[in-house]
Amino acid sequence: MKQAVFFDIDGTLAIRRFIPPSAETAVRSLRENGTLVFICTGRNASYVRHHFHAYADGFICANGRYAFYNGRILYDHPIELSLLQKAREITLGSGGGNHLLRKQKRL
């Protein structure tokens, strides 16, 4: 039976995009011994693929909304546009900012 381990990135496996040598050695050892390594994060898939693809067999990204293993998408459930629009309305209506949505195409 295969074993699997799951790691968060920020403050657990890495500090920003930097993985300390001790963590890199530990992850490499796990994989060499047949353990599947997964990274679970709230970050988006493109960030994770770009910076951490060499360290894991699979990823669970965007707080569980997107998962892939060995390059194959297992789960893809983006937030619906109507929910993003509603969140933006509530945020702006309460005097908050919309930093995340400003980086995207204007709603």
Convert the pLDDT of each residue in 23-57 to its tens digit.
Answer: 999 999 999 999 999 999 989 888 888 888 889 99
CA distances from 44 to 1, 28, 51, 97 (A): 30, 23, 11, 20
Q: What is the mean pLDDT of the chain?
A: 85
Closest CA to 39 of 20, 73, 62, 72: 62
This prediction has a pTM of 0.72
Name the strand (E) or helix (H) holding 66.
strand 66-69
Question: Residue 81 contacts by C-beta under 8 Å, 6 or more apart in sequence?
Answer: 107
Domain ranges within the chain, ordered by starting residue: 4-76, 79-107
pLDDT of 27 reads 93
Kindly indicate whether the domain formed by 4-76 is annotated with CATH number 3.40.50.1000.
yes
